[in-house]
Amino acid sequence: MIRPDDLDHCREAIRHGSLSFHAASKLLPAKVRDPALALYAFCRLADDEVDEGDYQAGAVFRLQDRLDAAYAGRPKNAPEDRAFAAIIEEFEMPRALPEALLEGLAWDAAGRDYHSLSDVRAYSARVASAVGAMMCVLMRVRDGDALARACDLGVAMQLTNIARDVGEDARMGRIYLPLDWLAEAGIDPLNFLREPLPDEAVRGMVKRLLAEADRLYRRSEAGINVLPLQARTGIWAARLIYAGIGGQLRRQGYDSISMRARTHGRQKLGWLMQAALRTGGSVVMPKSPVIYARPLDEVVFLVDATCRSAAQPSRTRAVLDVLAELRAREAEIGQNRPMA
């Protein structure tokens, strides 16, 4: 399994880089928590390289190479890569899941626009629900209904992130709000990027995004309650902590431009306690009919790729297509760059 020194490195990376997941992970059983920390460390590394690097396209291409090497059993000599390769072998991780994450990161690098809420959900499926599906694999859960609800939770969390980061993203030249919402409000995207303002229309969009997240948080609860009993408290904690960010946004009037929604340690402790209470006795409760709700159209490919009983289509073709698009874009930029 994962080397102890590699696991220690991954644990430290998450402790400093993802406070919300680090808090929730403490409630997971060790057999899930340890590989989950390694998984999140690899995913966090991938996200940071694309998000913060000077050459985003190059970061995506390097990540594709690292993914190829990990699945070939020859990971790059780095703690996150070695730990992820161990996870692939131990849990038979479907390659389509990390490839979906890579595809979402490639969309970021290519500066893809999201014209509708469905487009935003499709992006969220790749950068968040893919991780939720991988978490299910770590819990040895391959049931399609449980996976659909895990994907609901991933989309809800990402919508919360987008709602929280509207101003920060705009200042970095990015818009993840559906562009058709901006058009309805008469807001020109370029003007918004030049001067993002927390006016009534923008705050209304943040409110709409959080309403969709809340709907999916509620749907996800039926799935949490069919997970292995020892793992439920940790996942409940993650659900409550992320939804708490949305609660803070509501308290600040849905303004995520002039201020950033932050939660503090006492709040997290309260949500951890709530998670423990919600788990208590849930093993004897009947299944909620919500567990059988149809998966979101945007996450069906993740559910199909993870179910043992279903064919496991590769995302390689889709990933190669978006990488080809990214290379073409980079070549065009290079041709238009003035000679020194």
Q: Exposed (0-12), middle (13-18) or buried (19+): which is 257, by Cβ within 10 Å?
A: buried
d(CA 326, CA 164): 28
In a domain, 253, yes or no: yes
The tens digit of pLDDT for each residue in 69-85 reads 999 999 999 999 999 99
Q: Which of 208, 225, 202 is nearest to 285 (CA)?
A: 225
Q: Are 48 and 14 in contact (CB under 8 A)?
A: no
What pLDDT sits at residue 315? Answer: 60
What pLDDT sits at residue 333? Answer: 65
What pLDDT sits at residue 313? Answer: 52
What pLDDT sits at residue 311? Answer: 46
The tens digit of pLDDT for each residue in 206-223 reads 999 999 999 999 999 999
Containing domain of residue 102, as a range?
A: 93-334
pLDDT band at 16 (very low <50, low <70, confident <90, very high): confident
The tens digit of pLDDT for each residue in 154-191 reads 999 999 999 999 999 999 999 999 999 999 999 999 99
- % of the chain exceeding 70 in pLDDT: 89
pLDDT at 269 over 90: no
Q: What average pLDDT does range 54-58 have in this prediction?
A: 72
Q: What average pLDDT does range 242-269 have in this prediction?
A: 92
pLDDT at 285 over 70: no
pLDDT band at 48 (very low <50, low <70, confident <90, very high): confident
Q: CATH number for the domain including 278?
A: 1.10.600.10
What pLDDT sits at residue 242? Answer: 92
The tens digit of pLDDT for each residue in 225-250 reads 999 999 999 899 999 999 999 999 99
In a domain, 166, yes or no: yes
Within 8 A by CB and 6+ apart from 176, the residues are 114, 120, 123, 162, 165, 166, 169
Better-predicted residue by pLDDT, 118 or 33: 118
pLDDT band at 282 (very low <50, low <70, confident <90, very high): very low
Confirm whether pTM is higher than 0.85: yes
What is the separation of C-alpha 202 from the centre of its chain, rounded to a whole number of angstroms? 23
What pLDDT sits at residue 26? Answer: 81
pLDDT at 309 over 60: no
In a domain, 28, yes or no: no
Give me the chain's average pLDDT, please: 88
Q: Exposed (0-12), middle (13-18) or buried (19+): which is 190, by Cβ within 10 Å?
A: exposed
Handedness of CA 35, 72, 329, 184 (dihedral sign): negative
Amino acid of residue 22? H
d(CA 99, CA 200): 38
d(CA 80, CA 225): 30
Q: Concatenated DSSP letters for 128-139?
A: IIHHHHHHHHHT
In a domain, 42, yes or no: no
In a domain, 63, yes or no: no
d(CA 85, CA 69): 9
Max alpha carbon distance in the chain (Å)?
71
Q: What average pLDDT does range 120-131 have in this prediction?
A: 97
- % of the chain exceeding 90 in pLDDT: 63
- Establish how many alpha carbons lie within 13 A of residue 145's alpha carbon, considering only the half-sphere containing its beta carbon: 14
Better-predicted residue by pLDDT, 199 or 47: 199
In a domain, 10, yes or no: no
In a domain, 256, yes or no: yes
In a domain, 62, yes or no: no
Domain count, the chain: 1
